[in-house]
Amino acid sequence: MKEHFSNYKLLLMPINSHGNHWILLVAKPKEKTVSILDSLHHQNFKWLNLWG
């Protein structure tokens, strides 16, 4: 059975960036938004471009 992302209010995807730091991708399919939570406040355009 296939699920569509649009069936969910919120998707949380942990990403290991460079093997030593974790960031969290937050997608809200119904709002059509994608954001990154990063405790080190890096510019994470690479991940946003991949998923956004």
| pLDDT tens per residue across span 1-52 | 788 878 899 999 998 987 888 989 999 999 988 888 888 876 665 655 665 5
**CB contact burial 20-36 (16+ within 10 A = b; e otherwise):** eeebebebeeeeeebeb
Which tokens sit at 43?
A: 């510019």
Q: How far apart are CA 47 and CA 15, in angstroms?
A: 9
Distance CA(43)–CA(8), nearest Å, equals 27
> What does the pLDDT read at residue 9?
94
The full set of domain ranges for the chain reads: 5-47
Enter the pTM of the model.
0.69
